[in-house]
Amino acid sequence: MKLFSYCTRYLPRSCLLICLLLFSAVLRADIWVIDVDGAIGPATADHMERSLDKAITAEASLVVLRIDTPGGLDMAMREMIKVILASPLPIVGYVSPSGARAASAGTYLLYATHLAAMAPGTNLGAATPVQLGGGSPGLPSMPGSDDAKDGKPEGESKENTGAAPPGDAMERKVVNDAVAYIRSLAQLRSRNGDWAERAVREGVSLSANDALEQGVIELVADSMENLLTQLDGRQVALDKKSVTLSTAGETVHYQSVDWRSEFLAVITNPNIAYILLMVGIYGLIIEFYNPGIGLPGIVGAASLLIAMYALQMLPISYAGMGLILLGIALMTAEAFAPSFGLMGISGAITFLTGSIMLMDTNLPAYQIALPMIIALTVFSIGLLVFALSMLVKARHRKVVTGTEHLIGTMATVGRVDGVNAWVWLEGELWHARSESPLQLNEQVRVTAIDGLTAVVSKPTEGEY
């Protein structure tokens, strides 16, 4: 405000007008480009949602989602689609550059946008839920096809088949839900719903030109400039009204990924979240066993909190988490109460099984690497079984530091003055107290240390 008052008071109006025009041109970009790059997850959804909010605040006229994704998590995808459907700005989905794809969850995103475009050499489709992929025999087929008979051989009557197996029923529910979802998006945007259903049920894909011919997309553009040229003058249905796009000569703002989204992408990487979880658990175990160090407890608590924040956004299996904790508990118990390896081996197997089960999804991008699991399992065995067992043995060793190690040692009476006596103890002259009178040069045993006084007693015969 002070800067604005200074400018209005001392600058000529012509200079002020020029400055305001330049300032508004810098602040305002009519077309925003937001990248949806890589596997769709919490970080991708967070970046897109916050970038779209910024575009709305900046009063942008159009948002372009530049898509290149192999798919991702269903929960993150649905959150992004909700934001797209509720957007007051027209949103164009653009699969770019050449060689990019909008597979699986990316197909749903493209169907949700107001206008869909693709660059030559790109593809979309393969929208079957990944958990049911891999040629599962229970996948339902398109109605009317030869194999749409509950997976039974041709000629076998339905009356004799009985109820479908529970696994098949669950698969059908998931696929039918996905079909209904993508069909509703196709109907909303007046696109080819039949092909969308095939993309879910059969996992089919389309190239850019084929997608244009079949009414899956509206445009094929080889560059952002060409896309904006083709968009100019097009009608878009927005909030039950028709909006004409004006993209010729408009400024374009490319919204980059900020530090928050990058940090979220790092910690929601399943391998990183898994490591943080282990660091947190081990740090707290070491701190609880040997309190006072501080550093393991601080690092462990911080790592565990970050891991919990990341894992609550990922599709984790609570059974897998429980097995991990049980495995750590068994290996810790082996260190404190050796059972000839029974609890240690059982804990290692339980820990390994829980780590494999931890991520409740078949998406490759959200799986914990098997070498990482094996390495941490071996490290856990070494830390919890061998290292902690060595610490336990060390705690049972004879004390060699402090005043405690003086208890039980032999001392020589070095001076007697009436009722007061002093003894030589490890080269030092200590004031001594005894229930019986002490004689000069007499050998005594230290039974306790009371401040700066050694409590001694005469040893019995044969105790020397």
How confident is the model over 264-316, as pLDDT tens digits? 989 999 999 999 999 998 888 878 777 666 788 889 899 999 999 999 888 88
Q: Identify whether the C-beta of residue 142 lies closer than 8 Å to the C-beta of residue 201.
A: yes
Q: Identify whether the C-beta of residue 150 lies closer than 8 Å to the C-beta of residue 158.
A: yes
CA 66 – CA 63 distance, rounded (Å): 10
User: 292 is in which domain, residue-wise?
Assistant: 268-395
Domain membership of residue 284 (yes or no) is: yes
Total tally of structural domains belonging to the chain: 3
Same domain, 299 and 324: yes
- Please tell me the predicted confidence (pLDDT) of residue 239: 78
Q: What is the CATH number of the domain that holds 244?
A: 3.90.226.10
Place of tokens 């009722």: 419
Same domain, 207 and 111: yes
Q: 246 by DSSP, 3-state: which?
A: coil
Q: What is the CATH number of the domain that holds 424?
A: 2.40.50.140
Domain membership of residue 102 (yes or no) is: yes
Say which range, 4-18, 218-232, 299-313, has the weakest mean pLDDT: 4-18
pLDDT band at 252 (very low <50, low <70, confident <90, very high): very high
- Please tell me the predicted confidence (pLDDT) of residue 398: 58
Q: CA dihedral defined by 89, 91, 97, 100, rounded to 10 degrees?
A: 140
How confident is the model over 160-189, as pLDDT tens digits? 444 444 457 777 888 999 999 999 999 999
Question: How many residues are recorded in the chain?
Answer: 464
* Selection from 396, 117, 143, 63 nearest residue 230 by Cα: 117
CA 39 – CA 317 distance, rounded (Å): 20
Same domain, 448 and 365: no
Same domain, 85 and 193: yes
Domain membership of residue 23 (yes or no) is: yes
Residue environment code for 381-418, b if the CB has 16+ CB neighbours within 10 A, otherwise e: bebbbeebbeeeeeeeeeeeeeeeebeeeebebbebee
Domain membership of residue 300 (yes or no) is: yes
Per DSSP, which regions of 342-419 are E strands? 410-417
pLDDT band at 159 (very low <50, low <70, confident <90, very high): very low
For the ranges 6-20, 46-60, 340-354, 386-400, the maximum mean pLDDT occurs at 46-60
Same domain, 176 and 246: yes
Domain membership of residue 462 (yes or no) is: no
How confident is the model over 405-446, as pLDDT tens digits? 677 788 888 888 877 888 888 778 888 888 888 888 888 888
Partnered with residue 288 across adjacent β-strands are none
Same domain, 215 and 278: no
If you average pLDDT over every residue of the chain, what do you get? 81
